[in-house]
Structure 1
Amino acid sequence: MARIVIADDDADIRELVVFKLRHAGHEVLPVADGSAAVEACLADKPDLVILDVMMPGMSGLDAARALRDNPAMSGVPIIMLTARAQESDVEQGFDAGADDYVVKPFSPRELASRVAAVLGEDS
């Protein structure tokens, strides 16, 4: 299956996502902020990145832009997983380079389906 980096400053959300994605057979690397996500991605290119928008230090939007600006990471899909649900927030996520946008609270089953869809897998 896929190697996935998940960045969220909320440990409970990280643990839930890690549990669900590992249960689906993925290798998951959880980190707590955007800069750690960028570092993890550049150290060992993942198949997918899941980013919270609002994190201390580097936001998920800034992390997405940094990843999109790196030629080695340009084709790696990014899913934003965030409580920011306004139309302008969604637009900012896509403008930063997101391939999908999931609003919290979210269904772990729906997230797993969206991960499969972005990765081009049968769910």
Structure 2
Amino acid sequence: MTTALIVEDEAINVKVFSKILTKRGGLAVLHTENVEEVMQIAQSGGADIILMDVSLSNSYYQGKPMNGLQITQMLKANPKTAGLPVILVTAHANEGDRENLLEVSHADGYIPKPVVDHQEFLNRILEMIPKS
């Protein structure tokens, strides 16, 4: 089954995204803010796509706070996880944010929050999942 990993610190967003992905998209969903878990899941092939919040308040790696851009950079720098699609899902939605965030993080896609059109949200994610 195709699995999406949600890296998000707001419980309501996790709930909404999970429901859209499972009910409408038929995907399995994992959730963690723990950077070690994100890396382990990604390296083991446990996720087919990652939805990454940019501003994470509870994520630490080796004792240092990390945001979604830094986690994405780590994923993209690792040959084992570089090909795994990462979509930034963020409230940073001002003019120029999309291009800047994609350039800095090397993420594969960008979806602004709040997510209003659930079908469009799902479509954007499904089109980025590699076909086996």
- TM bracket, shorter-chain basis: 0.7 to 0.9
Cα deviation, 1:39-86, whole Å, max 9, x if unaligned, reads 432344421011000002311101110000110111111110000012
Structure 1 equivalent of residue 43 of structure 2: 42
SS at match of 2:128: helix
Cα offset for 1:119? 1.7
What does residue range 1-123 of structure 1 map to in structure 2 within 5 Å? 1-23=1-23, 24-32=25-33, 34=35, 36-56=37-57, 57-95=65-103, 96-106=105-115, 107-119=117-129
Q: Aligned equivalents of 2:129 and 2:17: distance in 1?
A: 16
Number of equivalenced pairs:
121
Amino acid in the other structure paired with 2:80:
A
Residue 113 of structure 1 and its aligned partner are, at CA, apart by: 0.6
Q: Which runs of 5+ in 2 are unaligned?
A: 58-64
CA distance in 1, matches of 2:35, 2:93: 19
Deviation >2 Å, runs of 4+ = 32-40, 42-45, 86-89
Residues 67, 73 of structure 1: 8 Å contact kept: yes
Contact 1:8 1:33 in 2 (8 A): no
Report percent identity of matched pairs.
Answer: 27
Secondary structure of 1:87 counterpart: coil
Higher Cα radius of gyration = 2
